[in-house]
Every structure is written in C-alpha cells, then in structure tokens.
Amino acid sequence: MTKREPLMSKEYFDHHLITVDQFLQKTLANMDTYTDQAGAKFDVLRDCLSLLYARYSRGYPITSLKSDFMHVLEAWEALRDADVDDVYTNSFKNDLTNYVESVGLLSLSVLLQFDSSVIYRLLVCIRNEGQDLLFERFVARVLGPQQRKPAKKLLYPKVYQALYDASEAPAKEQPELIHQFLAHWYKRIKNVGWHDAHKGPKGGGFKGYWCWEAAGVALAFGIDDSSFRDLPYYPKDLADFARTRS
C-alpha cells in the first residue's frame, strides 16, 4: 500500500485511522445513551468523513473507498433525520468549508462511479439548491437537466472562477484554466477550517489535502488532465480509475 499524501508519514496515518475508528465505534455503541442525538450523529458523520479522506491519503485501494463513501452518505442521512431543529444546516453562503466539502463529495461520487440514485441521495443531504453557479452546472452535467432552482452567481469567485470558466470554455482552453485553478487552490481556501491542519500538534487531525473537484469537473466535462495531473492536490489515480470506467 503506497501512501498518496506526501505531507505526513504512513505511521501518522495509521495511528490517525486507528484513533478515529475507535472514537467512531464508541459513539455508535453508545448511541442510545446520548440525549443530543443530532450532535452524536454529527460526530459519526465527521468520523466517517475523516476515515474516507485519510484512507485515500494513506493509500487504500480505490475500490475499498466506495464503502467508506457509503458510510458517509448513510451517516449524513441519519443526521438529517435526527436534526429536527436544523442545527447542522450545511450553508454554502455562510461557510466556505461547507461549500468546499460539498462540491468535493459530489466530485467523489462521480469519481468513484456511483450511479445517479446515490448522487440524488447525496444532493438531498447537501441541500443548497440554486445557491451556486458552479455547483448547479456540475450537477446538470452529471445528472442531465434537472428541475432545480437556477443559480445566479458564483459564491466564491476568488477560489472557483477558473474552475467554473473551465466548464464553459472551448476545449483547447479548458486544461489551462484548471491548471490555474489548481495552482492557486490551496492558498485561496485559507479560510476553511482544516487549512494548515498538518502544522498542528501531532498532525492536528490532518486527513490530507485533495482537490477532488478539479478531477471531478475534468472528468464530467471531458477535459484532458495530462497538463495538470502532476500538480499538488490533484488525485490523479482516482481520476484515472474513473476515466477507465466511464
């Protein structure tokens, strides 16, 4: 098993994965005892996400990540059912972290080659219909024209303008636009909650830095990734996995 994420050691990831799984299993085993069911299910979702991301970073086989993704989806659905007060809203407008994670999960659902039924379930969890041009254009490309609210603007143009432009540009211009997007992606998402996590004590819960959406958009819009596939943060073996199966 070859580690994919260069910033931390395989020993770090092995320890991190064991620790997170232990917390997850403890929460699941004691679920009936929690008075705040939504809060407990939110913790389960966060742990499932951490395992999905960190297992990719550690080098787990891509086919094994499909079950990790489904655990994330099922945990999110359980949270939606329990969160009757809508505490965990996942607002795009108010939180760049929510947006980055949501467009990343949509990308992962495409890259892992899930069928439309799974993607529809994910969209129910994500919500935010009609809030962002890139997100809605991506959904329409993946699922075909939908009865969704049209978006009027790009919520985070400083980060995502080049990626959105790539989805609309002539074919010969698309690779360069994604190259530009990837080249600036990490520094422009400095306001996400996990930015520079690897610099924290004992790794700060670091799970890896991956720009899933660059690969997801490239796949969905048929963009040649040969000119940017070796840039940092691009999950190139996941992109290759998807391209050989699509």
What pLDDT shows up at residue 204? 80
Domain count, the chain: 1
Contact at 8 Å (CB) between 178 and 162?
yes
In a domain, 77, yes or no: yes
What pLDDT shows up at residue 145? 85
Q: Which domain holds residue 35?
A: 1-88
In a domain, 37, yes or no: yes
What pLDDT shows up at residue 146? 80
pLDDT averaged over consecutive 10-residue blocks of the chain (246 residues)?
96 97 98 97 98 98 97 98 95 95 98 97 97 97 91 97 98 98 97 92 89 98 97 98 89
What is the reported pTM?
Answer: 0.96
| Residues whose CB is less than 8 angstroms from the CB of residue 218 and which lie 6 or more positions away in sequence, other chains included | 178, 224, 225, 239
Q: How far apart are CA 37 and CA 25, in angstroms?
A: 16
- State the DSSP string of 130-163: TS-HHHHHHHHHHH-S-S-PPP-S-S-HHHHHHH
In a domain, 56, yes or no: yes
CA atoms within 13 A on the CB side of 203: 20
Handedness of CA 150, 152, 154, 155 (dihedral sign): negative
Contact at 8 Å (CB) between 52 and 72?
yes
In a domain, 219, yes or no: no
| Residues whose CB is less than 8 angstroms from the CB of residue 84 and which lie 6 or more positions away in sequence, other chains included | 38
Q: How far apart are CA 47 and CA 196, in angstroms?
A: 19
Q: How far apart are CA 220 and CA 134, in angstroms?
A: 12
CA–chain centroid gap for 185, Å, is 14
In a domain, 159, yes or no: no
In a domain, 33, yes or no: yes
In a domain, 176, yes or no: no
In a domain, 112, yes or no: no
What pLDDT shows up at residue 81? 97
